[in-house]
Amino acid sequence: MFTVANILTGFNLLFGVSSIIFTFSGRLELAVLAIIAGALCDFLDGFVARLMKQPSELGKQLDSLADLVTFGVAPGLIVFVLLILSGAWDIILESGGGINELWIEGTMGFSVQLWISVFLNDLVGNNSPFLPNHFYGWYKVMPFFALLIPFMSMFRLAKFNLDVRQATGFIGLPTPANSLFFASFALLLWDGFGQDNWKTVLSMTFIKDQMLLSLVILFSILLVAEIPLFALKFKSFKWKGNEIRYSFLLASLVLILILWVWAIPIIVLMYILLSVVNNMVLKKNS
């Protein structure tokens, strides 16, 4: 039971739980780093299981349970908080306010935690004397659409366990890719915080409710869509047969060196696009 691979899976779960704690503490950047650490454990547990010849049905089930937390619940709650910030920003703009009313003097974590507290206070009607009333109507409901991410991730992971077609590739968007895509928006917000340049404008645009909700719905559909996507599983390290994998990894490295955290959503979109192109090429050659 307590094999090296299964222990790594356990750490994947713990990083997912840590991400949730960081999210509601306002430290969104640490929440994203915890998801990335979980993704590393998720990669290593399968690699170690194959290397030590310890694959098991138990490990497979543990992996999906951990993935649901780290790549389903954790990113869903990050988006939940991003939609709280989006709602607060909309209300501030409607009242003629400015960005300084959203990002109160201090750290980004302080402002995020404050808006989480205001939202939860308004949601359940605690009428705290220490927090102002702010959220109303649609803005109380909107963040809950983020829970579509863990909901659809549950079906995606269950489908993966039962679908024999996914032994060497994926049918539908893998949950780690979906998780990194949405979690990266929090990193972009963190990178643009306190600046008055294109980073601030673009990061605030990405968390606007119209943009974010549309992406949540689209990517939730992609999780369970019958679209083949390649996996980064190497049977050998030769170029032949791995052209798309090496090309993707090289392009991803270049993008990260140039764009840093801004490369993450581009890499996920590139992964989907390359998979679609690869499917068309394979279909044409068959």
| Whole-number CA gyration radius for the chain | 20
The answer as to whether 259 is a domain residue is: no
CB 185 within 8 A of CB 167: no
- Confidence at 29, pLDDT banded by 50, 70, 90: very high
The answer as to whether 256 is a domain residue is: no
CB 51 within 8 A of CB 3: no
Most confident stretch, 46-50, 163-167, 184-188: 184-188
The answer as to whether 260 is a domain residue is: no
Is the pLDDT at 284 greater than 90? The verdict is no
The answer as to whether 50 is a domain residue is: yes
Count how many domains the chain has. 1
The answer as to whether 263 is a domain residue is: no
The answer as to whether 112 is a domain residue is: yes
Higher pLDDT, 63 or 233: 63
Local structure of 151: helix, strand or coil? helix
Higher pLDDT, 171 or 237: 171
For 106-146, what is each residue's pLDDT tens digit?
889 999 999 999 999 999 988 888 888 899 999 999 999 99
- The whole-number pLDDT of residue 286 equals 65
3-state percent breakdown (helix, strand, coil) of the chain, nearest 5: 75, 0, 20
For 180-228, what is each residue's pLDDT tens digit?
999 999 999 999 887 878 888 899 999 999 999 999 999 999 999 989 9
Is the pLDDT at 91 greater than 90? The verdict is yes
CATH number at residue 119: 1.20.120
The answer as to whether 183 is a domain residue is: yes
Structure tokens at 256: 């990260």
The answer as to whether 200 is a domain residue is: yes
Structural domain harbouring 208: 4-226
